[in-house]
């Protein structure tokens, strides 16, 4: 049998009167059939192409429009391309039974217009930049539950669509504060399959909304760090694992500021992740690219996973990964109404 | 499940491998364990209180603000109230393991601020007005798959938050065309449980995005009717059922115009639903309330199900219901960019 079976089932919330078969502890689901990430696909903009992962991305755009008449259309076409490419690598689009996808735009605009030509059953997710791990988690439930043999997950973001929606008209050229992160222009997609070879998802911890009262929508890393700390600590408690169980614990897009905070927050909880922790937001751009605190966006964790971690895992250079994509759940309206920023993080354990 | 056998099958094209255990036909999932809708809760505004279901709604607001400083806060507080109430009727909030929720606002604003005080694992869904059946469908997968014993599903909408986001500033008092529908102010929540008494969800058909080129965001019923027709026809094909199998087939919010179109579209496909079909959008307001083509919004199908169908099913006055919530997936940005309107519908079969 597989490793997740011997995890600690004693941490059950008595209020729940006993966990169901595929849950351990308070918030962690297990996937005994070990659904496999059969393929990945990545596409990104020119700035990402000049970054650290540039030569590992499947397709790079020459400019941020890629021949489309709006940035939104470009984002949609990137998502569609990534989903078609990932499906193509895993037996073809016609073998995919459900698509789970999401993005940062109002009413998932990029997703809906990217999906509509694919002619496949579709469920739309909104978890802001946590959407990639949320999608993997739900796909794991669908495949391990016996409801599909193949599920595709896709997410996208685009610097220009996000900037003008969340902050200021791009033409204004407003100066960005040092704590700000740069929304990744790109899309990533994976196919999760019941059978096959490759890294498998073995368990996942569903996050809770954590709002510590941060109000600056430029400082999303600090806002999201407490949610990441909560989910990681809960994951370790539920599974009885030490942080060292993982070759790498990777958050989605905390950036340089949030990354430092997360290490400190977890140290306060008695958890030391300082030796095997990295943030995907610090793995996209070079320091010289002047993005301030790092990368962000739904595509941030997706690109790093699909273009880098997945490759390392297939080569057995990395065997156990805890991917914790983080989402800042504010909206332009909530910011204008002077609300604080609710955040969430979902963790997914990927092993080979 | 024997993993060695699965590995041996990995060379076979899954398209030829056939459906997994819990799927029939192209798009329909089955829930053999028959998860039970253990409770429902409803809250709505004063206009809904004066409507057809007024005396069946759990709590009615005296005005559209309910003491809050913004309509968005009111919508959040309605969602929170409905989730707490539904959970309270089904063993208490602490027994709920996951919340699935969504609304119409940018970045699910109503949902995130409504959920953040509940302290429970949460997954955010965006399916516009189809979110209620999407939530039931995913909850069915989670419970039947053995990942949770209790899942809460909540959706909300608010006339004033939707109007100013999707159309015009409310102060402008823009005249509404006859085909327009009135967004329901309210929230509905249910608890789906592994065991217990009550109507059970038995199968569900995941919809595909259908875009027939409609461009008028005031005419969402006509835009959504083809998606409803596609999902209903697929459901009947997958299950081998005749429309008469159901006591009632109910769409979410097609309104009077979309309802007539759906009957005609399905007649063209050789399916006659004219004898046992109703639209939830035609069941909220009285004709004299001057809402033109009927009701719409995430809360539309949720209120009608929770306040009316659920009661009828518990009383065995209705035994088989196909609930088909419908979603118009446009955004203000897509409308401004002169895009057409992608739509979707998810069907859920509820039986007692």
Q: Does B155 touch chain A (CB under 8 A)?
A: no
For A140, B144, B210, B310, B329, the CA distances from B340, given in Å and listed in that order, are: 33, 37, 11, 35, 10
In chain A, residues under CATH classification 3.40.47.40 are 36-193, 199-351
Closest CA–CA distance from residue B288 to any residue of chain A (Å): 32
Q: What count of CB pairs under 8 Å joins A to B?
A: 220
If you average pLDDT over residues B93-106, what whole number do you get? Answer: 97
CATH of domain B34-193: 3.40.47.40
Q: Decide if pLDDT at B8 tops 70.
A: no
Residues 35-54 of B with CB under 8 A from A: none
Per the document, the length of chain A is 352
Q: Decide if pLDDT at A14 tops 80.
A: no
CATH class of this structure's domain A199-351: alpha beta
Task: Write the pLDDT tens digit of every residue in B241-300.
Answer: 999 999 999 999 999 999 999 999 999 999 999 999 999 999 999 999 999 999 999 999
Number of Cβ atoms within 10 Å of the Cβ of A188: 34
Judging contacts by C-beta atoms under 8 Å, the chain A residues touching residue B143 are 20
Was domain A36-193 assigned CATH 3.40.250.10? no
Residue B17: band (very low, low, confident or very high) from pLDDT cuts 50, 70, 90: low
CA distance A278 to B10: 33
For A110, A306, B166, B303, the CA distances from A70, given in Å and listed in that order, are: 11, 26, 20, 38
Number of Cβ atoms within 10 Å of the Cβ of A181: 29
pLDDT at residue A9, rounded to an integer: 43
Residues whose CB falls within 8 Å of the CB of residue B268, separated by 6 or more in sequence, listed in order: none
Judging contacts by C-beta atoms under 8 Å, the chain A residues touching residue B100 are none
**pTM for this one?**
0.95
Q: Which of B14, B138, B148 sits opposite A23 (nearest CB)?
A: B148
| A212 → chain B, closest CA residue | B116
* A291: β partners: none
Judging contacts by C-beta atoms under 8 Å, the chain B residues touching residue A208 are 119-122
Residues 178-197 of A with CB under 8 A from B: 193-197
Virtual CA dihedral for A125, B337, B256, B260, nearest 10 degrees? -90
Task: Write the pLDDT tens digit of every residue in A36-65.
Answer: 999 999 999 999 999 999 999 999 999 999
Task: Write the pLDDT tens digit of every residue in B38-63.
Answer: 999 999 999 999 999 999 999 999 99
Closest CA–CA distance from residue B15 to any residue of chain A (Å): 5
Nearest to B102 by CA among A107, A224, A141, A343: A107
Two structure tokens written together for A209 = 């909304």
Residues 224-283 of B with CB under 8 A from A: none
Note the ipTM here. 0.95
Q: Could you please state the CATH topology (level 3) that the domain comprising B200-351 is classified under.
A: Peroxisomal Thiolase; Chain A, domain 1 (3.40.47)
């Amino acid at each position: 049998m597989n490793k997740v079976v011997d995890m600690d089932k004693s941490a059950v919330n008595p209020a729940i009167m006993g966990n169901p078969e595929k849950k351990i502890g308070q918030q962690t689901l297990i996937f005994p059939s070990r659904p496999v990430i059969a393929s990945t696909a990545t596409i990104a903009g020119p700035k990402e192409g000049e970054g650290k992962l540039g030569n590992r991305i499947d397709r790079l755009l020459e400019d941020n429009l890629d021949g489309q008449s709006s940035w939104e259309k470009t984002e949609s076409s990137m998502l569609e391309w990534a989903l078609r490419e990932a499906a193509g690598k895993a037996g073809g689009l016609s073998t995919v039974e459900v698509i789970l996808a999401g993005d940062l735009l109002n009413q998932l605009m990029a997703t809906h217009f990217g999906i509509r030509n694919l002619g496949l059953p579709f469920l739309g997710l909104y978890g802001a930049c946590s959407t990639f791990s949320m999608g993997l988690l739900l796909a794991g439930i669908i495949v391990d539950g016996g409801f599909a043999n193949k599920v595709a997950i896709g997410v996208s973001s685009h610097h220009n669509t996000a900037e003008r929606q969340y902050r200021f008209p791009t033409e204004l050229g407003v100066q960005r504060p040092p704590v700000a992160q740069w929304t990744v222009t790109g899309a990533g997609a994976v196919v999760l399959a019941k059978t096959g070879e490759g890294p498998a998802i073995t368990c996942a911890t569903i996050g809770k909304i954590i709002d510590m009262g941060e109000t600056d929508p430029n400082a999303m890393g600090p806002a999201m760090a407490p949610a990441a700390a909560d989910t990681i600590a809960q994951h370790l408690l539920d599974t009885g694992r030490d942080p060292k169980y993982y070759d790498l614990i990777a958050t989605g897009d905390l950036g340089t500021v949030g990354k430092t905070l997360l290490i400190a927050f977890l140290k306060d909880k008695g958890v030391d992740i300082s030796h095997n922790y990295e943030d995907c937001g610090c793995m996209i751009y070079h320091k010289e690219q002047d993005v301030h605190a790092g990368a962000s966006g739904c595509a941030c964790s997706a690109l790093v996973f699909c273009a880098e971690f997945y490759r390392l895992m297939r080569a057995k250079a990395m065997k156990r990964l805890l991917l914790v994509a983080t989402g800042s759940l504010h909206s332009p309206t909530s910011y204008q109404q002077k609300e604080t920023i609710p955040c969430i993080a979902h963790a997914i354990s990927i092993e080979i």
